[in-house]
Chains A and B, each alone.
Chain A
Amino acid sequence: MIEIAGLTKIYGRGSKAARALSGIDLRIGTGMFGLLGPNGAGKTTLMRILAGVANPSGGTLRIAGNDLRTESGKRAMKATLGYLPQELGLYPELSAAQFVDYMAILKGLGEPKARARRVAEVLERVALQDVADRKIKGFSGGMKRRVGIAQALVNDPKLLIVDEPTAGRDPEERIRFRNLLVNLAAERTVILSTHIVEDIGQTCRDLAVLARGRIHFRGSPAELIEAAEGHVWTATSDRLEEPETGLTVISMLHLADGIQYRLVGPRPASFPNAEPAKPGLEDGYVRLMQSA
C-alpha cells in the first residue's frame, strides 16, 4: 500500500522557485494504477519521489510501511522496488544477462545460483532468452526497454514503477508491453505513468490525472469517461472549419462527403449539424484538461 499525503516538490529557491507538485494526496493498492497527464504535469517528478531517487519538499510518503523521508525507509523500500525510468540508460558493453545480473547484485540478490535462475526467468518473461548473451549495444529500442523491464523484475518487486514505457514504440511493441504490465499487476502494485490515454484505458482500473502539479481526477476509467458525457460532438463539414474557443478537435476524418469532426466542449455554434456522441476515455481526459 502506498500512502501519499500533502506531497509537495519545489525546485530552486527564492524568486527562482518552481512548484512541480502541490499537495498530492493518494492511496494506491495492489493492481495496475495509471497516472495520466500532459508533458510537464509533474509525473516524472512524482515517479522519482516514489522510486526514492528524489526527495519531496513537504508532505508524507509511506510505501509498505516504509517512511521515504528517512534513509533507512528508502533503502528498505528500494529492496522491493522495480523501476523503469523514462530515460532508460543501460551499459552497452554488457550482455542482457550480465546487465540484469549486475542490477540483481545491486538490489541485494546474493546467492549466485538463485540469482542466475532468476535472471534467466525474467529474460524469458520479456522474450529475450535467445539474445541473453548478446551485447546491449546491438539491441533495438524495444529490446532495450525489455531489458529495462527485466532488470526491474529481477528482485520480484512488490512495487513496479514504469514511467512512459511505450512512448516512441511501434504498435506491436506497445501492445506486448501493455499485456506484460497487466500480467505483472496480478501479483503486485504497478504504477504506469504516461501521457498516452490509450495505454491507461487498456490496462488500468484505477487512475489519477495530474496537471500542473495537482491531482485533478481520481477514479476509474468509466468515471473519467462520464466526465465528458454531454460534451462530445460529431459534425460534418464540406470544408476545413476553425472551431470556436473552448472546443477541442479530437479527430478529423476525411470522408467522401466531407470532413467529419469529433469535438469536445460546449455545443459547437460553428457546426449547426453537430450531434452528441458517446464519449471515450480520451474525450473524458480532454474535457478534464479543459477545466483544469
Chain B
Amino acid sequence: MRSLRSKGAALKYSWLCYRRESLWFPAAFLALFVVILAILPNPGLRYGIARAYLGFIVPLIGGILAAYSILDDPALELRFATPERPEATLAARLGLILLVEAVCAAGFQLFARALGVDLSPLGGFLSVQAVWLVPTLALISLGCAGSLAGAQSVTGAFLVGGVWLVQLLMKSWFVANARELYLFLGVFSPDSPALVANRFVLFAGSLGLLGLSTVLLRRPERLL
C-alpha cells in the first residue's frame, strides 16, 4: 500500500514535470484531423482520414515524443545519481506518452463514431486498437532507443521520421518482401494472413528496443 502510494506520487510528479509544450503536438494533430473529419462530406474519405490518423499519425507522434522523453530532462544528472532503476525511468516516461496517445486515439474514435464513420473494414474493436497501438509501440521504442544510442534526442526523432517515411513510400516493397516488419500492414491489409506474425514481430522488436534502451541507460555518462 505504502509502495503504491509512493508510485502514485512519483507518477504525479512525472506528469507535473512533463514538458507541457510537447502536449500541443498530439493535441494539435488531433484537432486538425477532427476538423478534417467533420468537414468532409464523403463517408469513404472520412474512413480514409480516420484510418490515416490512427494508423500513421498516432504512431509517428508517439515515436517523436519518445525520442525527446528521456534526454530532454533538466534534472537528468540528479536522476542518474538516484538508485532509480532504468526500467522504472523508461516505464514512467514512455508510459506517460502511451497514455497521451491512448487518450488521443480513443477521443478520435469516439468522435469518428459520433459522425457515423465505419471503422469495421479495419476489423473488430481489438483489431482497430491494434492498428494504432502496435506501430505506436514500435516507433516509441525506436525513438527512445535511437535517442539513447545517439545520445541526442534529435537522432531518435530523425530515425523515427525516416523509418516512418520510408515505410510509407515503399509500401509495395515491404508488403511483398518484408511484411513482418511493415508498420502499416494492419492499416493497408487488415485481412492479410501475415498480420498475426507481423504484430508478433513488431511487438517482440519493441521489447528488444526497450531492452536496448535499458542497457544504454546503465551507461549514463554518454547522455550527460
**Do A and B share a complex?**
yes
Contact of A55 among B3, B5, B9, B221 (CB under 8 A): B221
Let me know if A93 and B16 touch, CB within 8 A. yes
Q: List 25 A-B pairs, Cβ < 8 Å.
A: A53-B80, A53-B81, A53-B220, A54-B220, A55-B219, A71-B218, A76-B83, A78-B83, A79-B83, A83-B78, A83-B81, A85-B78, A85-B81, A91-B74, A91-B75, A92-B74, A93-B17, A94-B13, A98-B13, A102-B17, A106-B82, A106-B83, A106-B84, A110-B6, A112-B6
Q: Which residues of A contact B (CB under 8 A)?
A: 48, 51-55, 71, 75-76, 78-79, 81, 83, 85, 87-94, 98, 101-103, 105-108, 110-112, 148, 151
B39 at the A interface (CB under 8 A): no
Contacts of B220 in A (CB 8 A): 53-54
In the complex, chain B residues 175-224 whose Cβ is within 8 Å of any chain A Cβ: 218-221, 224
Let me know if B10 and A102 touch, CB within 8 A. yes
Contact of A89 among B10, B77, B218, B219 (CB under 8 A): B77
- Report how far A108 CA is from B81 CA in the complex, Å: 12
- Report how far A89 CA is from B81 CA in the complex, Å: 13
In the complex, chain B residues 70-92 whose Cβ is within 8 Å of any chain A Cβ: 73-85
B224 to chain A: closest residue by CB: A53
Contacts of B76 in A (CB 8 A): 89
Contact of A101 among B9, B84, B219, B221 (CB under 8 A): B9
B92 to chain A: closest residue by CB: A106
The 8 A CB mask of B6-23 against A (1 = contact, 0 = none) is 100110010011001000
- Report how far A98 CA is from B13 CA in the complex, Å: 8
Let me know if A105 and B75 touch, CB within 8 A. no
CB contact under 8 A between A106 and B10, given known A87-B77, A91-B75: yes
